[in-house]
Amino acid sequence: MKSGTSRRTERARLRGGRRGSRVRAVGAIVGTLAALSVGLAPSATADEQSKQWYLKPMQAEQMWKVSTGKGVKVAVIDTGVNPDTPSLRGQVLADEVPKSVAYHATHDFAGHGTTMAELIAGTGAGGGIKGLAPGAKIVPYRIDIKGLKGAEAKKSPESWQAIRAAADTDAKIISMSYGGVPDPTEEEAVKYAASKGKLLIAAVGNDGRGKGQVDFPAGFPYVIGVSSMDASGNVSKFSSHGSWVDLTAPGEGFPGWCDATFRSYCDNQNGTSAAAAIASASAALIWSAHPDWTVNQVTRALLDTAGRSWARNNPSSYLGYGAVRPKNVLKNPHYDPGPPDVDPLAEENGGGDLLAKAGASPAPSASASAPASASASSQAPENGTSGGTSAAGSNARSSNDSSTLWIALGAAAAVVVIGGGGFAVMRARRAR
């Protein structure tokens, strides 16, 4: 990113340059957990929680004494959700999906959306995946991002329809672990959801080994883009990077459903999809503990308490404002979330008018009419590689203080080296 190039200007450039290549979403999910795996878990009843390495450093057990996400609904826009896995029984509110939009078609034929739902709100029953916010509830929206055929494809709404439908419900968070090229109809849906006070969170994509380009909807204003990190606090090699990365979260090296049979988890699943789900669960924990906060205040809390060593006003192209650390909000009864009607990302969002209004009046409204035509974002393939750091020094490791999670190593995080050439990690902000 060139110095002085604003986030909004760069987004506009990409939209103009790639709009003509927009196609219907029938490819692989950009944020998908890797199709490749290192062996299968013995069965769905094995203790998968022991493989969820991030639960301990994030101090999940301590957080759950304060908040479990109870009372917060998360709209998961993905391949659908299987509500009958042991970990999701009683956690999925499929009946709350508007009939006029989604036809109640929420069956998951891929396993991806079910994994995301479990990472957010799984109870861990039967030894399955334990969600970071096990008290939250999931409202599933199935969109056609895995090449559904025939009647099932017709039953699946476009992404913009799902976003608008979710915006008109009482779900507080919209979690989107998919991506592709920019679609103006989807962008309008995002703006609509933001005006309703929804917190929109999306995977930035898995093009780290390519051009690193961040995908959409993560690249739209009013969407929190999340990159992936490993157990050492290093940004994942597959994780996309750029001016639209707002936060990072664990995204590799743990189990997930890898097909529609739901007989067994696959190990070593990787992708920014999982990172977005964990960030969504982090927001649910905070919002549950502070139900009177607005989307602006929850967003500010996520950004303020993220693990980093660089200046807050100079976020990293790889790690954004840092690693999600909801415990730092939950453990501090005196934390000040700031004004309810001021968007903490107003500069990046072009003034923040939508979120400011949402902060003043966050209650959902009656259904609004949607545009007559739309097309979902196209999908890029999942990278599926594991581990490591995409660039030397791009990390957010923890310090000796066990209450902090993945703090970056000071000056070492200021420069990365790729292929022998150096460039600044810290991204330029909006030029004023």
Q: How far does the chain reach from its first CA to its final CA, in angstroms?
A: 17
User: What CA–CA distance (Å, rounded) separates 399 from 213?
Assistant: 30
Q: Nearest to residue 235, comparing CAs of 326, 311, 307, 129? A: 307
8 A C-beta contact, residue 11 and residue 221? yes
Check 264, 273, 377, 378 and give the catalytic one. 273
Distance of CA 299 to the CA centre of its chain: 13
User: What CA–CA distance (Å, rounded) separates 127 from 46?
Assistant: 5
The CA-atom distances, in angstroms, between 282 and each of 5, 63, 74, 131, 173 are: 31, 10, 11, 10, 11
Residue 178 C-beta-side C-alpha neighbours within 13 Å: 31
User: What CA–CA distance (Å, rounded) separates 216 from 375?
Assistant: 13
User: What CA–CA distance (Å, rounded) separates 186 from 197?
Assistant: 17
Residue 328 C-beta-side C-alpha neighbours within 13 Å: 23
8 A C-beta contact, residue 255 and residue 40? no
424 pairs with which residues across the strands?
415
User: What CA–CA distance (Å, rounded) separates 32 from 11?
Assistant: 23
Check 37, 78, 195, 228 and give the catalytic one. 78
Q: Is 111 left (phi over 0), alpha (psi -120 to 50) or beta?
A: left
395 pairs with which residues across the strands?
234
Check 107, 112, 168, 378 and give the catalytic one. 112
8 A C-beta contact, residue 363 and residue 21? no
**Residue 112 is among the residues annotated as catalytic for this protein:** yes
8 A C-beta contact, residue 319 and residue 308? yes
Cβ partners under 8 Å of residue 228, min gap 6: 206, 235, 236, 238, 239, 248, 249, 250, 251, 252, 270, 271, 272, 274, 275
Torsion 129-130-132-136 (CA) sign = positive
8 A C-beta contact, residue 311 and residue 236? no
Catalytic residues: 78, 112, 273
